[in-house]
Amino acid sequence: MVDVRIKNIEESDADTLLSEDMSFQGTMSLSRPAMIKGQMTGKIESDSNVFIEKEADVKADIKADELSVKGNLAGSVQASVIELGSSAVFSGEIKAQSLAMESGCIFSGSSQIGSASKAEPEAAAEAPAEGAPAQNEE
């Protein structure tokens, strides 16, 4: 079994910080890394990375480049890379190219990982139709 290690991020690595004593309801549109330590309800759209820390409680749909979760998150999330740390409690739907889960995290929901759905139409276009003779290219 592979030992998964989720990277540690410092507050100084994030341009936007929702601290432990803050609560936010609404839509966040971000272009730079953000760290959430407080409570958030709504939607997050980011062209960069979103870090949900251990003390956070988030109920949101999230689209980000990378998403790292160490706290509580409920919602539908989509990112190229999603990491669930050992303290993460996630419920909802995940769509990602890559998913890493540390031992101890809690996951309840569904996931769609990888790019298989993108590759299928290309493969179907290359395959001969059923009953059609195979053609050899020379």
Q: Which two tokens stand for residue 32?
A: 């730079």
DSSP 32: S
Cα–Cα dist 38/23, whole Å: 6
DSSP state letters, 36-88: E-SEEEEEEEESSEEEE-TT-EEEEEEEEEEEEESSEEEEEEEEEEEEE-TT-
Beta bridge partners of 111: 94
Contacts of 87 (CB under 8 A, 6+ apart): 54, 70, 71, 104, 105
Cα–Cα dist 92/78, whole Å: 11
Using an 8 Å Cβ cutoff, are 113 and 96 in contact?
yes
Q: What is the pLDDT along the chain (138 residues), one digit of tens a residue?
A: 455 667 788 888 899 999 999 999 999 999 999 999 999 999 999 999 999 999 999 999 999 999 999 999 999 999 999 999 999 999 999 999 999 999 999 999 999 999 743 333 344 444 444 454 544 544
**Single pTM value for the model:** 0.79
Burial of 74 (0-12, 13-18, 19+ CB in 10 A): middle
